[in-house]
Every structure is written in C-alpha cells, then in structure tokens.
Amino acid sequence: MAFVVAKVVPLRAGSFARGGLRMTPIGGESAELGWPSVVRATNREPVNMPSAEYLDRKIETASLKEVQKLQQAKLARQLDYLLARSLFYQDKLRAAGLRRKDFRRLRDVTRFPLTTKEELRESQAACPPLGRHMACDLDDVIRIHSSTGTTGKPSFVGLTRHDARMWTALTARSFYTQGCRKQDIVIHAAGLTLFVAGLSAKDAIEFVGAMFVPIGTGASEKALMAIQMLKATAMHCTPSYATYFADWVRREARLDPKELGLKKLFCGAEPGAGIPAVRAKIQEDWGARVTEGLGNADMAPIIFSECPDQSGMHFNGQEFVLVEIIDPESGESLPIEKGVTGELVYTSLERECVPLLRFRTRDRVTVLDTSCRCGRTGFKLRCVGRTDDMLIVLGVNVFPSAVRDVVSSFHPRTTGEIQIVLSEPGPKVAPPMKVVAEFAVGTSDLAGLKNEIEMKIKATLSVPVLVDLVASGTLPRYEMKGQLIKKAYEKKVLV
C-alpha cells in the first residue's frame, strides 16, 4: 500500500505552480511528521478489515499529545501554503497585523482572526467562480459541491484530486466508526447532486468495501424495491427521511418497516438522530441501530460520527481538520472538555482548493466526553442545533431540536412531529412560544396531554409555550432536512 502525505512547497507571491501542495511518498518529508497520511492512491484497493474495530487504528487511538504534535506541523505547512496562494487570507491577515511568524505553537492559532460564511460568500461574489480564497489553479479542480444557506444562493466548494482523496479517507473513517463494513449493502437515500455527502458518501462507502446503492431523494418506491430485492442491511439518510420513509412503508406498502431487515441507519445533515427520544422512535420503527454523523459543506462531509456505543459523535479528522470550540458571543476559544458548550470552528490542515482558517460553522455543540469504551481517543460531542436557528424567549436560548426532544418523549401518545410557529421574525419570540405538535392515532384526553407537554417544556427548557395539538399526519414530512420552524409572518397579506 502506497501512502502519501501533503507537502507544502512555499511559493513566491504571485506565482502559481500547478498543483500547489505536492504529494511526497512516505519516507522523506512524511517521516519527519511520524505519521503517514491515510489518503491512499486511487489505483489501489483499500485494506478491508471486517473484523477490526478501527479503519485507521494508529490515528484513531493516538494520544492527545501525539495528535497535537502532528496538527502543529501540518498547520504550519498549511499556513505557508495559504500565505503563498490565497489572496483572501493574505489580505485578511495583513489587516489583522499578523504574519506567518506569529504561529509557532498550536495554541497560537487563537491569535488569528475567525472566518465567517458571509466573508466566503462575498469573496465568491467578488471573484467567481470559487472566490479569492481559492488557493489552487482552476485547472486542478476536479469536482464542485455547494451549500445553499439561508439566502438560497449556492456557495460553491471546489476539490482537487488530493482534496477528494482526503474527503474519501475521512468520510470512510466516519462510516466505519458507525459500523459500516465490507459485508454491508447500503441504500443511499440522500442527495446525489451538489450535496456534499452525496458523491462523497459513495466514494467513502465503496472505499470501506461495502456495496453502495444510489437511490437519492424522492424515490421511496425505488428504495423499498432495492431494500427488498438486494436484501440491504443499512441505509444512509437524514433522520427526517427515516421517519418519513417508515410512515410511507406502513401506509403505501402495508408493511412493518422492521420486516425489511435493515440493521443499521447512518443519519446526518440535521440534528435528530442523536436526540434520545427521536432516536428511540426511529429505532423502534426500523428495528435497527441508529447512529449519526456531523460535517460541514465547506470543510468535509462527515467529520464526527458515533461508534456503536451511541454515546456521542467522535472526532474523526485528527490529521485533516483542527477543531476548536468557541464562545459564540465573545469568540473566545474554550477548552475541549466534558460539559463544554459552544460553537464549532474548523481549520484545514491538508487542503488545496479552498483551505480555511478558523471557519465558524454556526453549529452549537456540547462535549459529552473525551474517552470511550470503544478505545477511540477522539472527543465526543452532540450537536444541539445551529445558532442561525436559535430562538430567544424571555432571555432564554431555545433550539427547535430541544423542543422536539421533549415532545417526542411523550411517544406513543405523540408522533414526535412538531413546528414552532413564529408570527414575527426571530430570534426573539414573544411568550408564550407557539408549538404545534401531533398526537398519535388512538390518543385520548388531549387536554391532559397538552397540559403535560406545556409543563414539561417549561420545566426542561425554562420557557412558557402554548401547545396546539393536531392529528397525526397533519404536519408536513420531509425527505431531506426537516423544517421545525414555520414562518407564519411570511404569509401575511398586506392590505
């Protein structure tokens, strides 16, 4: 097996040597780091270890000191590359009064300015197609993905051949952590177009050696047929689709989803699969183990994922991504230790096309632990929501996913489906916050159930709510990301 590691060759300002990051076989430069990259040559088959606990044991079980030493060396080289190739970061660091010499140790990264999604959008608008933060030749870009965001305008992300290999290695490790193995037949019931976890999931699942079945979205009939005919063992989808598809199978096929024989559900793209009550319902629907993953369109498709212990998502990108957790208000970097809550920030360690320095994800997370029974040393977290979706009621921060968690805890009297109805633009919401929730078929004493839900939300989240119970099937179901907020104010008719 030939291993390669990224070597940054410093370039003169204004020069654009083809390839930028050059790939050096293990030996020379890579030996200095002491770690071979797991980005494997594409003309070789991956080593499949169906009985092994880890895909990349050395890095997955490395000590914090070992990982930090590796990250410090790789970030130093990524910074060399950024300052040689990225006009965006040349200007940004100059404006901040910072130079390359200001980074000597890993902790020095906190001296550098944060990067926001708004800055990347402005960069792309000013210098299409990929922005002033593109750090390679356009001729070296082999694939484009995008994220939509709140404005609806696509924000493009480019990959070089090396970037694509890196994404494959990281995403494969994340699927393997969740339990994907060579023997699995995986139904991909998520996007396959510009969605970052589409083609990247295909590459990763095939890298593990499992069978990838590309169904996509809006094709429940095909998904059912494929599961039955191929005797599929796993499905990759959003938690919203897992719920939607289970209802569809019962309604349209007159089957119990458990009869289909799926054993593993790999979920992501939105909070849900890690919410205890939501996870419990999906597992009950399918009779399958549910694990979740978390990534970011601008950094990598899946960076965190759960092991079968289901006790939080492990950080899987030790040699590819530097992770910080910051206070979303002050921007202060927080210690990564059990109980810490804040916003995820990512820095690229091995990226050619669009490397990012201290990128704010807007994902609000809580660190659950820094160790695990599985032996992985990557810390574990749970995503509680996006700061973009956060609502404020009487000064209390409320995430829609937390409201759904409370309502789902009343299953089987509720379906778990909710919508928070806003009469005015957020994030501030005048009390009581209006929550529409579905009661399940056969549920009686709706007045009592309404009161119980209102009281539990008040006790758990410390905000007053007004619950409106509606019949099962009233609220919309989603095949991709669920919409937990209804913006009623957008439908007001001006007279």
Judge if 404 and 285 occupy the same domain. Answer: no
Domain-terminating residue out of 344, 364, 385: 385
Residue 53 shares a structural domain with residue 171: yes
Range in 141-150, 201-210, 218-227, 282-291 with the lowest mean pLDDT: 141-150
Residues 445 and 333 in one domain: no
Q: What pLDDT, on the 0 to 100 scale, is given for residue 261?
A: 97
Confidence category of residue 149, pLDDT binned at 50, 70, 90:
low
CATH of the domain at 403: 3.30.300.30
Number of folded domains in the chain? 2
Do 216 and 353 lie in one domain? The reply is yes
Q: Is the pLDDT of residue 25 over 60?
A: no
Tell whether the model's pLDDT for residue 34 goes beyond 60.
Answer: no
Residue 177's pLDDT is what?
A: 98
Q: Same domain, yes or no, for 108 and 152?
A: yes
Residue that is last in its domain, among 385, 409, 444: 385
Please determine, for residue 1, whether its predicted confidence score (pLDDT) is greater than 80.
no
Residue 90 confidence (pLDDT) above 70: yes
Query: Average pLDDT, stretch 149-162?
Result: 79
The pLDDT confidence band at residue 192, using thresholds 50, 70 and 90, is confident
Give the tens place of pLDDT for each residue, 402-460.
898 899 999 999 999 999 999 888 888 989 999 999 999 999 999 999 999 999 999 99
Q: What is the mean pLDDT of residues 74-90?
A: 97
Examine the domain organization and report whether 372 and 444 are in the same domain.
Answer: no
pLDDT higher than threshold 90 for residue 172: yes
Do 65 and 163 sit in the same domain of this protein? yes
Q: What is the pLDDT of residues 92-138, one digit of tens each?
A: 999 999 999 999 999 999 999 999 999 999 999 999 999 999 999 99
Q: What's the pLDDT score for residue 145? A: 94
The stretch 134-159 carries a mean pLDDT of 84
Q: Is residue 286 domain-shared with residue 411, that is, in the same domain? A: no
| pLDDT tens-digit readout, 262-315 | 999 999 988 889 888 889 999 999 999 999 999 999 999 999 999 999 999 999
Domain that holds residue 167: 1-385
Kindly report the CATH number assigned to the domain that includes residue 344. Answer: 3.40.50.12780
Whether residue 18 has pLDDT greater than 50: no
Domain check: are 370 and 438 in the same one?
Answer: no
For the stretch 316-353, pLDDT in tens is: 999 999 999 999 999 999 999 999 999 999 999 999 99
End-of-domain residue from the set 340, 370, 385: 385
Burial track 150-184 (b if 16+ CB lie within 10 A, e otherwise)? eeeeebbbbbbebbbbbbbbbbbbbbbbbbbbeeb
Together in a domain, 189 and 252: yes
- Which of 22-31, 98-107, 351-360, 468-477 has the weakest average pLDDT? 22-31
pLDDT at 94: 97
**What percent of the chain lies above the pLDDT cut of 70?**
87
Residues 420 and 475 in one domain: yes
**% of residues, the chain, pLDDT over 90:** 72
Q: Which residues contact 214 (CB under 8 A, 6 or more apart)?
A: 188, 192, 202
The whole-number pLDDT of residue 148 equals 59
Please tell me whether residues 379 and 402 are part of one structural domain: no
pLDDT band with cut points at 50, 70 and 90 for residue 52: confident
Confidence of residue 86 (pLDDT cuts 50, 70, 90): very high
Whether the predicted model's global pTM rises above the 0.85 cut: no
Computed over every residue of the chain, the mean pLDDT equals 87
* pLDDT at residue 32 is higher than 70: no
